[in-house]
Amino acid sequence: MERDMNPAEQLQVIMDAPTLTRPASMRERILGVASVAALYTGLAIALAHGVPTLLGVLILVASLFLLLRWNWFHGRITCRRPHTKVENAARFLTAPMLGVSAAGLFGDGPEPLGFSLAAAALPAASLMVYLALRWRR
């Protein structure tokens, strides 16, 4: 059942339609950069100092929670475009990258500084790539 609308009504319907191009807010961008910095710093310090196993598990759970929280946030937010294949690959790559840090955390003791920085950079860089891809439009 169609209804004839005048041009003003048609324009109003178009104006009321949701848009998928809403940019990320400054608050979201600041929290994203802070999340990447916290992830990198926390993992690098934990790897370089050789934390006990229980603390290592807590650090990994907190890191995984941070990554999943960003995934959940971008999955629930309205008026944003759907994820692209590249964004999906970047967001799902963060968890395996976190596995490199997990291997170092459950080692015998402190890891060399180079390994600590590189292992912490992998999940942080993957999260930053994902966030940058989401924010590019």
Report pLDDT digits (tens) over 20-63: 666 788 998 999 999 999 999 999 999 898 888 888 889 999 99
Residue 1 in this model has a pLDDT that exceeds 70: no
Q: How many CB atoms lie within 10 A of CB 12?
A: 11
- What global pTM score does this model have? 0.79
Angle between helices 85-105 and 53-76 (to 10 degrees): 170
The residue written with tokens 């848009």 in the block is 19
